[in-house]
Amino acid sequence: MKTMMISVMALGSVCGSAMAELPQLHAWPMQHIMLTFDGSTVGAHADPTAMDPVLLQRFSGESYDGAASVLDDSYYSDQYGWLADGFISLGADEFMWIERVSSSAGLNVYEGGMRMMREFHSYDAILGTDGSSDRWMWGGTMTHNWYSADALGDYEATYFVYVGDANGDAYTQYQGAEVTLYFSAVPAPSAMGLLGLAGFGAMRRRR
Protein backbone atom coordinates (compact mmCIF):
# COMPACT_ATOMS: atom_id res chain seq x y z
CA MET A 1 0.00 0.00 0.00
CA LYS A 2 2.79 2.45 0.83
CA THR A 3 4.52 1.72 -2.49
CA MET A 4 1.29 2.34 -4.40
CA MET A 5 0.81 5.68 -2.65
CA ILE A 6 4.35 6.77 -3.57
CA SER A 7 3.76 5.81 -7.22
CA VAL A 8 0.47 7.71 -7.36
CA MET A 9 2.05 10.79 -5.81
CA ALA A 10 4.89 10.72 -8.33
CA LEU A 11 2.48 10.27 -11.24
CA GLY A 12 0.35 13.13 -9.96
CA SER A 13 3.43 15.33 -9.95
CA VAL A 14 4.08 14.48 -13.59
CA CYS A 15 0.49 14.96 -14.76
CA GLY A 16 0.01 18.13 -12.78
CA SER A 17 3.13 19.84 -14.06
CA ALA A 18 1.65 20.65 -17.46
CA MET A 19 -1.57 21.97 -15.91
CA ALA A 20 -0.01 24.32 -13.36
CA GLU A 21 -1.95 27.56 -12.90
CA LEU A 22 0.17 29.15 -10.16
CA PRO A 23 3.91 29.00 -9.43
CA GLN A 24 5.02 26.20 -7.15
CA LEU A 25 5.83 26.69 -3.46
CA HIS A 26 8.68 24.22 -3.76
CA ALA A 27 11.17 25.70 -1.31
CA TRP A 28 10.85 25.06 2.43
CA PRO A 29 11.38 26.15 5.11
CA MET A 30 10.71 29.84 4.59
CA GLN A 31 13.77 32.07 4.88
CA HIS A 32 12.83 35.38 6.43
CA ILE A 33 14.73 38.62 6.14
CA MET A 34 14.19 39.87 9.67
CA LEU A 35 13.71 43.64 9.97
CA THR A 36 13.97 45.70 13.15
CA PHE A 37 13.70 49.37 14.06
CA ASP A 38 14.49 50.69 17.54
CA GLY A 39 13.48 54.28 16.86
CA SER A 40 16.84 55.32 15.45
CA THR A 41 18.43 52.36 13.63
CA VAL A 42 17.11 49.84 11.13
CA GLY A 43 18.35 46.25 11.34
CA ALA A 44 18.16 43.57 8.64
CA HIS A 45 19.32 39.95 8.81
CA ALA A 46 18.93 36.83 6.64
CA ASP A 47 20.43 33.42 7.40
CA PRO A 48 21.27 31.96 3.94
CA THR A 49 24.89 32.43 2.89
CA ALA A 50 26.81 32.06 -0.37
CA MET A 51 27.65 28.52 0.75
CA ASP A 52 24.00 27.69 1.53
CA PRO A 53 21.90 29.79 -0.87
CA VAL A 54 18.20 29.76 -1.63
CA LEU A 55 17.61 27.50 -4.64
CA LEU A 56 15.87 28.73 -7.78
CA GLN A 57 14.26 25.86 -9.71
CA ARG A 58 12.70 25.54 -13.15
CA PHE A 59 9.74 23.28 -13.85
CA SER A 60 9.91 22.44 -17.53
CA GLY A 61 6.62 22.48 -19.41
CA GLU A 62 4.71 24.48 -16.82
CA SER A 63 2.97 27.73 -17.64
CA TYR A 64 1.25 30.04 -15.18
CA ASP A 65 -1.94 32.06 -15.36
CA GLY A 66 -2.18 35.80 -15.83
CA ALA A 67 0.51 38.01 -14.35
CA ALA A 68 2.31 34.96 -12.92
CA SER A 69 3.37 34.09 -16.48
CA VAL A 70 6.46 36.26 -15.93
CA LEU A 71 7.89 33.14 -14.23
CA ASP A 72 7.30 30.83 -17.21
CA ASP A 73 10.45 28.93 -18.28
CA SER A 74 12.55 30.50 -15.53
CA TYR A 75 14.29 29.28 -12.39
CA TYR A 76 12.38 30.80 -9.50
CA SER A 77 11.58 30.81 -5.77
CA ASP A 78 9.63 32.84 -3.23
CA GLN A 79 11.42 31.28 -0.27
CA TYR A 80 12.81 34.61 0.95
CA GLY A 81 10.29 36.79 2.81
CA TRP A 82 10.49 40.21 4.45
CA LEU A 83 9.25 40.05 8.05
CA ALA A 84 9.24 42.26 11.15
CA ASP A 85 11.35 40.89 13.99
CA GLY A 86 9.26 42.28 16.83
CA PHE A 87 7.15 45.44 16.90
CA ILE A 88 8.08 48.23 14.47
CA SER A 89 6.58 51.65 15.18
CA LEU A 90 6.76 54.32 12.46
CA GLY A 91 5.29 57.80 12.27
CA ALA A 92 2.36 58.71 10.03
CA ASP A 93 4.68 59.95 7.27
CA GLU A 94 7.35 57.29 7.73
CA PHE A 95 7.71 54.11 5.68
CA MET A 96 10.15 51.22 5.43
CA TRP A 97 11.88 51.10 2.07
CA ILE A 98 14.06 48.49 0.36
CA GLU A 99 16.55 49.84 -2.20
CA ARG A 100 18.68 47.79 -4.56
CA VAL A 101 22.38 48.48 -4.04
CA SER A 102 23.61 45.80 -6.46
CA SER A 103 22.43 42.56 -8.00
CA SER A 104 23.78 39.89 -10.32
CA ALA A 105 22.99 40.26 -14.00
CA GLY A 106 20.03 38.08 -14.91
CA LEU A 107 18.39 38.08 -11.46
CA ASN A 108 14.78 39.32 -11.57
CA VAL A 109 12.39 40.28 -8.75
CA TYR A 110 8.59 40.33 -8.90
CA GLU A 111 6.21 41.50 -6.19
CA GLY A 112 4.59 38.77 -4.12
CA GLY A 113 2.82 38.67 -0.78
CA MET A 114 1.70 36.00 1.67
CA ARG A 115 2.87 32.64 0.32
CA MET A 116 -0.52 30.94 0.44
CA MET A 117 -2.22 33.80 -1.45
CA ARG A 118 -0.36 33.47 -4.77
CA GLU A 119 -3.49 34.23 -6.81
CA PHE A 120 -3.55 37.74 -5.31
CA HIS A 121 0.11 38.59 -5.94
CA SER A 122 0.68 41.36 -8.47
CA TYR A 123 3.87 39.82 -9.98
CA ASP A 124 4.88 43.37 -10.88
CA ALA A 125 8.55 43.90 -11.72
CA ILE A 126 10.29 45.60 -8.78
CA LEU A 127 13.75 46.49 -7.45
CA GLY A 128 15.27 47.36 -10.83
CA THR A 129 13.73 44.51 -12.85
CA ASP A 130 12.61 45.50 -16.38
CA GLY A 131 13.38 49.15 -15.73
CA SER A 132 11.36 49.37 -12.51
CA SER A 133 12.42 51.61 -9.63
CA ASP A 134 15.34 50.44 -7.49
CA ARG A 135 13.17 51.30 -4.48
CA TRP A 136 10.28 49.23 -3.17
CA MET A 137 8.08 50.10 -0.18
CA TRP A 138 7.60 47.24 2.29
CA GLY A 139 4.02 47.18 3.59
CA GLY A 140 4.87 45.95 7.08
CA THR A 141 3.49 42.41 6.75
CA MET A 142 5.24 39.17 5.78
CA THR A 143 5.96 39.51 2.07
CA HIS A 144 7.50 36.83 -0.12
CA ASN A 145 8.59 38.30 -3.44
CA TRP A 146 9.43 36.10 -6.42
CA TYR A 147 13.07 35.88 -7.51
CA SER A 148 13.88 34.37 -10.88
CA ALA A 149 16.71 33.77 -13.33
CA ASP A 150 16.83 32.55 -16.92
CA ALA A 151 20.04 30.52 -16.61
CA LEU A 152 21.74 28.15 -14.20
CA GLY A 153 24.29 29.69 -11.85
CA ASP A 154 24.85 31.65 -8.67
CA TYR A 155 23.24 35.02 -8.01
CA GLU A 156 23.08 37.58 -5.24
CA ALA A 157 21.45 40.90 -4.47
CA THR A 158 22.33 43.49 -1.86
CA TYR A 159 19.64 45.81 -0.53
CA PHE A 160 19.65 48.88 1.68
CA VAL A 161 16.75 49.03 4.13
CA TYR A 162 15.83 52.46 5.48
CA VAL A 163 13.05 54.70 6.78
CA GLY A 164 11.83 57.29 4.30
CA ASP A 165 8.89 59.41 3.27
CA ALA A 166 6.10 58.43 0.88
CA ASN A 167 8.36 59.22 -2.11
CA GLY A 168 11.18 57.00 -0.87
CA ASP A 169 13.47 59.84 0.22
CA ALA A 170 15.41 58.77 3.31
CA TYR A 171 15.05 60.47 6.67
CA THR A 172 18.63 61.30 7.58
CA GLN A 173 18.03 61.11 11.33
CA TYR A 174 17.66 57.33 11.04
CA GLN A 175 20.38 54.82 10.22
CA GLY A 176 19.67 52.16 7.58
CA ALA A 177 21.09 48.68 7.10
CA GLU A 178 22.30 46.49 4.24
CA VAL A 179 21.44 42.84 3.69
CA THR A 180 22.59 40.44 0.95
CA LEU A 181 20.44 37.61 -0.42
CA TYR A 182 22.06 34.58 -2.05
CA PHE A 183 20.61 32.32 -4.75
CA SER A 184 21.64 29.37 -6.90
CA ALA A 185 19.63 28.36 -9.98
CA VAL A 186 19.58 24.56 -10.21
CA PRO A 187 17.59 21.98 -12.20
CA ALA A 188 14.40 20.75 -10.55
CA PRO A 189 14.12 17.00 -9.88
CA SER A 190 12.88 15.43 -13.12
CA ALA A 191 9.42 13.94 -13.20
CA MET A 192 10.73 10.79 -14.88
CA GLY A 193 13.26 10.48 -12.11
CA LEU A 194 10.44 10.50 -9.58
CA LEU A 195 8.58 7.79 -11.47
CA GLY A 196 11.74 5.72 -11.71
CA LEU A 197 12.27 6.00 -7.98
CA ALA A 198 8.68 4.91 -7.33
CA GLY A 199 9.07 1.96 -9.67
CA PHE A 200 12.27 0.90 -7.95
CA GLY A 201 10.43 1.01 -4.63
CA ALA A 202 7.66 -1.17 -6.06
CA MET A 203 10.15 -3.82 -7.19
CA ARG A 204 11.76 -3.89 -3.78
CA ARG A 205 8.31 -4.28 -2.22
CA ARG A 206 7.45 -7.27 -4.43
CA ARG A 207 10.72 -8.97 -3.49
| Tens digits of pLDDT across the chain (207 residues) | 333 333 333 333 434 444 568 999 988 999 999 999 999 999 999 999 999 999 999 998 899 999 999 999 999 999 999 999 999 999 999 999 999 999 999 999 999 999 999 999 999 999 999 999 999 999 999 999 999 999 999 999 999 999 999 999 999 999 999 999 999 999 876 543 443 333 434 333 343
Q: What is the SS3 assignment for 123?
A: coil
- Closest by CA position to 53, among listed 166, 150, 160, 186: 186
The domain spanning residue 100 has which CATH number? 2.60.40
Q: How many domains is the chain partitioned into structurally?
A: 1
Bridge partners, 135 (sequence order): 99
3-state SS class at 66: helix
138 within some domain: yes
Residue 72 lies in a domain: yes
4 located within any domain: no
Residue 201 located in a structural domain: no
Q: How many CB atoms lie within 10 A of CB 74?
A: 21
Degrees (nearest 5) of the Cα angle 186, 191, 193? 85
Report yes or no on 76 lying in a domain: yes
Phi and psi, residue 161, nearest 5°: -105, 130
Query: Residue 67 belongs to what domain range?
Result: 24-189
Residue 1 lies in a domain: no
Residue 64's φ and ψ, nearest 5 degrees, are -120, 150
H helices, E strands: number in the chain: 2, 11
Check residue 199 and give its pLDDT. 41
- Predicted confidence at residue 3, as pLDDT, reads 37
pTM of the model: 0.83
- Per-residue model confidence (pLDDT) at position 172: 96
Q: Residue 206: what pLDDT?
A: 40
Residue 19 lies in a domain: no
Does residue 16 form part of some domain? no
